Amino acid sequence: MHTRNHLPNPTRALALATFLLVLAALASGQNGAPVSSCANCPEWNKPQKPFRVYGNTYYVGPHGLSSILITSRAGHILIDGALPESVPQVVANIRSLGFRVEDVKLVVNSHVHFDHGGGIAELQRLSGAEVAASPWSAEVLTKSGVGKGDPQFGSIPPVALVPRATTLGPSPPQAFGGVARKLVRPNPCRRSARQRGRA
């Protein structure tokens, strides 16, 4: 039996390697977390060592965008998911503190801009958690990805959609794992003071 060792032409090998790298990049972009189109995103997404804020509350987000973990024996609450590309860092920070992302039972969105809600869909998928937001944000998270009534509509990317989101409203606090939760609308809120005609 005669076998022939055939080394590929270096140009062909380079072209094939380039093609395979491009294919892998395209596949990871489709199957992984989407990439945000944002000039400030690399700065916001710089690594940040997680730290205790107070008691059972921890900062687990990247350097420039908050993601807050509130822990309890019954499960954890995560407030905001930062950017889509922040998810691996948020998960790693949760784990480095000795907690499991699978024990996150509730992901709360403060407001539905891509820099706070961009990672929520992937974090929900990884944890199996319930997602909760204001009624307006919940609709954006489940239906459109960006609100047409948002003052930044057209200038910010949409967030990845979640299958379902619970709404938090101005009601008595709801207990969750020994932690009371209630919607409080901080700035930035749905409309700016200028948009409401007060500035």
74-94 per-position pLDDT tens digit: 999 999 999 999 999 999 999
Name 186's Cβ contacts closer than 8 Å, sequence gap at least 6. 110
E strands, 5-94, where? 51-54, 57-59, 68-70, 76-79
Q: Which amino acid is at 69?
A: L
Judge contact between 159 and 145, C-beta under 8 A.
yes
pLDDT of residue 89: 96
pLDDT of residue 85: 92
> With the CA atoms of 19, 22, 27 and 32 taken in that order, what torsion angle do they form, in degrees rounded to the nearest 10?
160
pLDDT of residue 122: 94
pLDDT of residue 168: 80
pLDDT of residue 70: 95
Predicted confidence (pLDDT) per residue in 9-33, tens digit: 555 555 554 444 444 444 444 444 4
The CATH number given to 41-181 is 3.60.15.10
Q: What residues in the chain have per-residue pLDDT under 70?
A: 1-37, 147, 149-155, 170-199
pLDDT of residue 143: 83
Name 178's Cβ contacts closer than 8 Å, sequence gap at least 6. 72, 73, 74
Judge contact between 129 and 107, C-beta under 8 A.
yes
pLDDT of residue 26: 43
Among candidates 112, 99, 199, 103, which has minimal Cα distance to 153? Answer: 112
